[in-house]
Amino acid sequence: MPTHPRPDQASVPAGSVPVEVAAVGETMVVLCPAPGEPLEHAERVAVSVGGAESNVAGYLARLGHRTTWVSRVGDDPFGRAVVRHVAAAGVRVDQVCVDPAAPTGLYVKDPRPEGTAVHYYRAGSAAARMDPATLADPALAGARVLHLSGITPALSASCRAMVEHAVADRPLPHALVSFDVNHRARLWPAEQAAPVLRDLANRCDLVFVGQDEAETLWGVTDPTAVRELLPGPGTVVVKDGAVGATALLRDTGPVFVPAPRVTVVEPVGAGDAFAAGYLAGLLRDLDPVRRLRLGHLVAAQALTSSGDNAPVPPWAWFEKLIDAPADAWSPLDLTDLGATT
């Protein structure tokens, strides 16, 4: 079995070397009633923290990579809770600005039999005041990856300008720009979001998009059609839920890897986990098949957890599975994930 390098995060003092991944976007406090209890009947809620980009940074940190989260929070208890939570995952928070004039964003989960609904309370939040200057910190200059999502340009005009600046002007000159389309219909309808997200995605280096959201946004129903719509990036990864994921590289044909079977506790955050796994594979110079496998395996951790950020097994567990023969991967069953790890 080949050995894949693992970054030695523990031996490197914080701030002494460039981060590998800078993830930029809003993270909010999350309120959630007991599993299966509709919000309208809840008498108590659990308080946690969630945000797409910081989720990616957190999973990458757990996989041994040096990450930083770039954002703004309010000068309030929720903001302090968010920063503490992200830092506890091993993510640097040096580039987080505390804004005394705007609140930290909030979202509330509403568990129901048909799926978990989400209600946002983020208009006018501190993070919505991010702008192109947010990316000017010299500490970000050495990052290998700048990770963004389609959530951020929906937050405000200044946030959209920041993302435009990131993909057009490349303020982090040595960074691969990674973009998760992450369309949020509650922030902007598909007809408004579709042309903006297509343009932004097409100017990035690596794009993640769900097959379902690609169909909603652009009316395309298969990975090849998605790739034809987005010819600019070096790689487009199309995720199709429990079916699997396809990586479409500019110089090679499509690579498809089926998803392992899992018992789903909650799907929220699984896309972020997948992106983190794929990015970890890229940072370790794995081939496309192993990158996709690693994405699926990290997503499985999220799918079998009720939180936005699940713990991950030791690297040896991932390494064994990403190097498995094809005939061992295809029937992979992680429905009893706790016993497997």
Q: Determine, yes or no, domain membership for 61.
A: yes
> Is 272 known to be catalytic?
yes
Pairing of strands 28-32, 46-50: antiparallel
| Domain extent at residue 32 | 23-129
Q: Determine, yes or no, domain membership for 304.
A: no
pLDDT the model gives residue 51 = 94
Provide the 10 A C-beta neighbour count for residue 47.
Answer: 10
- Average per-residue pLDDT for the chain: 90
Q: Determine, yes or no, domain membership for 225.
A: no
Provide the 10 A C-beta neighbour count for residue 314.
Answer: 9
pLDDT the model gives residue 54 = 97
pLDDT the model gives residue 11 = 32
Q: Give the pLDDT confidence of 208-259 residue by residue, as tens digits.
A: 999 999 999 999 999 999 999 999 999 999 999 989 999 999 988 899 999 9
Q: Determine, yes or no, domain membership for 48.
A: yes
Q: Determine, yes or no, domain membership for 117.
A: yes
Q: Determine, yes or no, domain membership for 208.
A: no
pLDDT the model gives residue 64 = 95
**Range list of H helices, the chain:** 52-62, 77-88, 157-168, 190-202, 211-218, 223-229, 270-283, 288-303, 315-322, 326-329, 337-340
pLDDT the model gives residue 332 = 87
pLDDT the model gives residue 17 = 59
Q: Determine, yes or no, domain membership for 64.
A: yes
Q: Which of 99, 180, 272, 308 is catalytic?
A: 272
Phi, psi dihedral angles at 70 (to 5 degrees): -110, 120
Q: Are 48 and 96 in contact (CB under 8 A)?
A: no
Tell me the CATH number at 101: 3.40.1190.20
pLDDT the model gives residue 305 = 73
What distance in Å separates the CA atoms of residue 261 and residue 33, rounded to the nearest whole number?
Answer: 27
Number of domains, the chain = 1
Q: Determine, yes or no, domain membership for 29.
A: yes
Q: With a cut of 70, which residues of the chain have pLDDT below it?
A: 1-17, 266, 306-308, 337-341
Strand ordering across the sheet containing 244-249? 96-99, 67-74, 21-24, 145-149, 176-180, 206-210, 235-240, 244-249, 254-258
